[in-house]
């Protein structure tokens, strides 16, 4: 397990944790979501850290990852979602047509970012639509459960889908770095130690 791989994993856990927060409460950590959504557009970043801007931007993901690895009662909904996203990314990798459609959708959303700003409702709607028209039609489907009142609101559902798109972005990165699902079990302790080190460094840098 490498620090880069742990960062990609933190990005994945962060986006899933944000989707779960939204499903439960209708709101989420805005700064963390901004970083997760930005990662969708950073396809050609020079480094793994560059995908997220800086390590501080994935502090929520690192904390979530540590909690899932260390605690006796982790939030299984986030873990299940993360594992499903990893499997979904594998399904996507064998569908060149959907990959092309996904890339085109992200390019179109990028143009809207320049016009309206990344955290605008227009960009959010476009990214949610990209997710719905590509990743939603693949198996396995990512099931997000939460507060039914929140999940009936269009704006909340769109933000959930946008975060799931960001989760898939991190899953792609994780696999590109040689990450595999079984490593989470085999290198659990090492992964947790690396995540703690990254989190400590990020917290010190952020002061």
Segment 41-60 shows an average pLDDT of 94
Q: What is the mean pLDDT of the chain?
A: 93
Question: CB under 8 Å to 76, separation ≥6 — which residues?
Answer: none
> Residue 207: which pLDDT band, with cuts at 50, 70 and 90?
low
The answer to whether residues 10 and 61 touch, using CB atoms and an 8 Å cutoff, is: yes
CA gap 164, 82 in Å, rounded: 9
Segment 110-139 shows an average pLDDT of 94
CA gap 32, 39 in Å, rounded: 11
Evaluate if residue 138 carries a pLDDT over 90.
yes
Question: CB under 8 Å to 189, separation ≥6 — which residues?
Answer: none
Q: Which domains does the chain have, with CATH numbers?
A: 3-206 (1.10.3890.10)
């Amino acid at each position: 397990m490498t620090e880069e791989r742990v960062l990609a994993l933190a990005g994945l856990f962060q986006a899933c944790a944000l989707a779960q927060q939204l499903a439960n409460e209708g709101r989420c950590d805005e700064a963390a979501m901004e970083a997760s959504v930005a990662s969708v557009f950073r396809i050609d970043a020079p480094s793994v850290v560059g995908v997220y801007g800086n390590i501080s931007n994935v502090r929520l993901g690192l904390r979530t990852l540590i909690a899932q690895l260390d605690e006796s009662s982790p939030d299984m909904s986030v873990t299940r979602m993360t594992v499903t996203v990893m499997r979904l990314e594998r399904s996507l990798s064998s569908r060149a047509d959907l990959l092309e459609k996904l890339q085109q959708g992200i390019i179109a959303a990028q143009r809207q970012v320049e016009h309206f700003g990344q955290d605008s409702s227009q960009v959010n709607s476009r990214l949610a639509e990209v997710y719905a028209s590509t990743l939603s039609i693949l198996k396995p489907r990512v099931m997000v459960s939460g507060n039914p009142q929140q999940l009936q609101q269009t704006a909340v559902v769109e933000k959930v889908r946008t975060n799931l798109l960001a989760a898939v972005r991190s899953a792609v990165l994780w696999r590109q770095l040689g990450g595999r699902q079984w490593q989470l079990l085999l290198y659990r302790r090492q992964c947790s130690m690396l995540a703690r080190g990254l989190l400590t460094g990020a917290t010190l840098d952020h002061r």
